Each structure stands twice: as structure tokens, then as C-alpha cells.
């Protein structure tokens, strides 16, 4: 069983890496056009971190498995590095995604401080619970490294992760629950604002206006598409991970691990670059925009020309 899980982890890591590389190639032209010309600011920094941090983490997972004839000292180092990657990799990825989604919703809700502070508080709870749970669940002091293979020297420092105790599993589920709540909150707030934009002067939602493409601004369409597609995809990955962790106290978690970083990278980069693309394609627009008032009526917005931050 352990050998099968170890093999599946390698296949899953390779698949996650292939997925990320394909996505990077697919968006590379847009990245060159809309991200690279920008001066270094929060938007550009968040995109680069979201895009390439997950990629580097998945590559690191694969490298650890591909070491030839590792010594005991090297394997001990691999165990330590694995724990660091679990703690720093997941925590930093969550932080990047939370910052991106919080900034987007802050703009969508006309820079409402109530929305901003509420999202910051929710994100801080998520990050604290995540750090504590990963620290508790990644204690590999009792872990033994796989014995050398008689068929090949390329067995690497493959770690058969120990099953979590009931307490560790409960802590882990609580942390993932916070992450799921956060993702669904971002999604729900996006849907609420979209519904609010369809209200008429009397405050009645007119769904028929959604069919009029000239009524809906390109920016709002990007917010809606990203909020529904990418955030739901991220939530699905989280639910899958929670389900895997519940089965046999997390024994099958390693194959799902690389896809967490792939999900963070995909969602975070898409949330930024789609907005940059919409901004560049519509230099100015007189349509209703994402910067709405409390009554659901939208103000005019002007986008910076391409190449300006």
C-alpha cells in the first residue's frame, strides 16, 4: 500500500507540474503584454509570486524524490525540507491568494473599509489556523525513510508520511474548514455584487439585463467569471483535499499535495491577469463598472493605457 501511494505521489507531482507549465505557456503572451511592462508594485509582485511560487514548490517536491544514493544525513535534510515546504509553501500560497482576493473585493465594493477589515480578519484566522495545523501535522520526528531499492539507486528520499492522530486530523480539518469558508466568502461576495448591479432604480433585480452585453461592463464580467470559475475550482480542490485527509487519517494526502500548489498558482495568476487584459482591451468605457455605489448604480471608470501601472 505504501509503495503504491509513493508511486501515485510521483505521478501526481508530474501531472501537476505539466498542468502548471501548460498554463504558463498558455498565458505567457498575456504576461509579456500586460504584466512585464508594469513598474514593480503590489499587483506585479502578487502576480509573480502567485504564478511561480507554486511552480517552484512542485519542482522542489519532484527533486527530493529524484536524489540518487542519498545518505542518512541527506535524508534527514529531506525530512526537514519537506516540513518547511509544507509549512511555508501552503501558508505563503494562502497569503498570496487572500491578498489578491481581498484587494479585488475591496475595489469591487467601492473601497468599503467594513468589507476590507472583515476580509482581513477572516484571512488572519485562516492563516493562523493553517500555520498551527500544518505545524502540528508535519511532525516527522518518528518518521523512517524508505529502505534503498534493490532494483535501482534512484529511489530518492521518499517519505511514507505517517498517519495523523485523531487530534492532528481534527486540527487539520479545522484549518481546511477556515480555508473553504474563506474561498466561499470571496465567491459569495462576488455574486452578491453582481446581483446588486442588475437592480433597477426601484431596487428590483432585473435578470433580463444580463442578456444585454452593452449594459454589463467588461470589468464586471471579468470579476464575475473569475469569481464563479476560478474560486469554485479552488474550493473543489480544497474539498477534495479535506476528503482525502479524512480517509485513513491522511494516508492518501501525498498524491493530493502537489495539486494544492497548482490550484493556488492557477487561481491567483488568473485573478490578476484577466483584470489586466480587460483593462488593456477597453482603455475607456462608459458602461457601468465594478466600483459601484450602495444603490447598485455604477460610476464611470477609466482604465490606464497598456504598459502603465
| Number of domains within the chain | 1
Q: Specify the CATH number for the domain of residue 239.
A: 1.20.1070
CA angle, corner 248, sides to 244 and 253, nearest 5? 35
| pLDDT for position 33 | 92
Report H helices in the chain. 2-34, 42-65, 72-84, 90-108, 113-137, 166-197, 218-225, 231-246, 253-281
Here the cell at position 233 is 475550482
Evaluate whether 191 touches 198 at the Cβ level (below 8 Å): no
Does residue 34 surpass a pLDDT of 50?
yes
Taking only the tens place, the pLDDT of each residue in 228-266 is 667 777 777 777 777 776 766 666 777 788 888 898 899
Per the listing, cell 534503498 goes with 148
Taking only the tens place, the pLDDT of each residue in 284-300 is 333 333 333 444 443 43
Reported pTM: 0.72
Residue 42 lies in a domain: yes
Residue 125 lies in a domain: yes
Residue 169 lies in a domain: yes
Greatest mean pLDDT range, 62-66, 159-163, 211-215: 62-66
Distance of alpha carbon 230 from alpha carbon 97, whole angstroms = 11
| pLDDT for position 83 | 74
| pLDDT for position 240 | 79
Residue 206 lies in a domain: yes
Domain that holds residue 288: 2-302
Residue 307 lies in a domain: no
Q: For residue 28, how far is the Cα from the chain centroid?
A: 19
| pLDDT for position 235 | 75
| Cα torsion through 25, 30, 32, 38, rounded to 10 | -140
Residue 308 lies in a domain: no
DSSP string of 27-76, one letter each residue: HHHHHHHHTTTS-SSHHHHHHHHHHHHHHHHHHHHHHHHT-SS--HHHHH
Distance of alpha carbon 50 from alpha carbon 272, whole angstroms = 9
Here the cell at position 87 is 509549512
Evaluate whether 233 touches 63 at the Cβ level (below 8 Å): no
Distance of alpha carbon 39 from alpha carbon 196, whole angstroms = 34
Residue 309 lies in a domain: no
Query: pLDDT-based confidence at 9, cuts 50/70/90?
Result: confident
Amino acid at each position: 500500500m505504501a509503495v503504491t501511494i509513493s508511486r501515485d505521489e510521483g505521478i501526481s507531482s508530474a501531472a501537476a507540474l505539466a498542468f502548471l507549465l501548460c498554463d504558463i505557456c498558455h498565458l505567457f503572451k498575456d504576461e509579456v503584454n500586460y504584466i512585464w511592462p508594469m513598474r514593480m508594485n503590489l499587483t506585479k509582485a502578487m502576480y509573480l509570486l502567485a504564478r511561480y511560487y507554486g511552480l517552484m514548490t512542485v519542482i522542489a517536491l519532484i527533486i527530493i524524490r529524484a536524489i540518487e544514493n542519498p545518505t542518512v544525513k541527506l535524508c534527514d535534510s529531506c525530512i526537514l525540507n519537506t516540513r518547511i515546504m509544507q509549512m511555508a509553501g501552503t501558508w505563503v500560497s494562502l497569503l498570496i491568494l487572500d491578498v489578491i482576493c481581498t484587494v479585488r473585493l475591496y475595489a469591487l465594493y467601492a473601497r468599503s473599509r467594513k468589507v476590507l477589515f472583515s476580509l482581513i480578519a477572516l484571512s488572519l484566522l485562516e492563516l493562523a489556523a493553517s500555520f498551527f495545523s500544518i505545524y502540528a501535522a508535519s511532525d516527522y520526528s518518528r518518521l523512517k525513510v524508505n529502505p534503498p531499492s534493490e532494483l535501482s539507486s534512484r529511489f530518492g528520499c521518499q517519505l511514507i508520511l505517517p498517519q495523523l492522530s485523531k487530534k492532528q486530523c481534527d486540527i487539520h480539518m479545522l484549518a481546511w474548514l477556515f480555508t473553504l469558508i474563506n474561498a466561499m466568502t470571496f465567491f459569495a461576495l462576488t455574486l452578491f455584487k453582481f446581483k446588486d448591479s442588475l437592480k433597477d432604480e426601484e431596487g428590483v433585480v432585473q435578470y433580463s439585463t444580463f442578456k444585454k452585453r452593452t449594459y454589463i461592463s467588461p470589468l464586471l464580467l471579468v470579476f464575475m467569471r473569475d469569481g464563479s470559475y476560478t474560486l469554485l475550482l479552488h474550493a473543489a480542490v480544497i474539498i477534495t483535499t479535506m476528503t482525502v485527509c479524512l480517509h485513513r487519517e491522511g494516508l492518501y494526502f501525498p498524491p493530493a499535495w502537489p495539486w494544492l500548489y497548482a490550484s493556488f498558482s492557477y487561481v491567483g495568476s488568473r485573478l490578476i491577469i484577466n483584470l489586466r487584459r480587460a483593462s488593456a482591451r477597453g482603455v475607456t468605457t462608459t458602461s457601468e463598472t465594478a466600483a459601484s455605489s450602495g444603490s447598485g448604480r455604477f460610476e464611470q471608470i477609466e482604465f490606464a493605457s497598456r504598459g502603465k501601472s
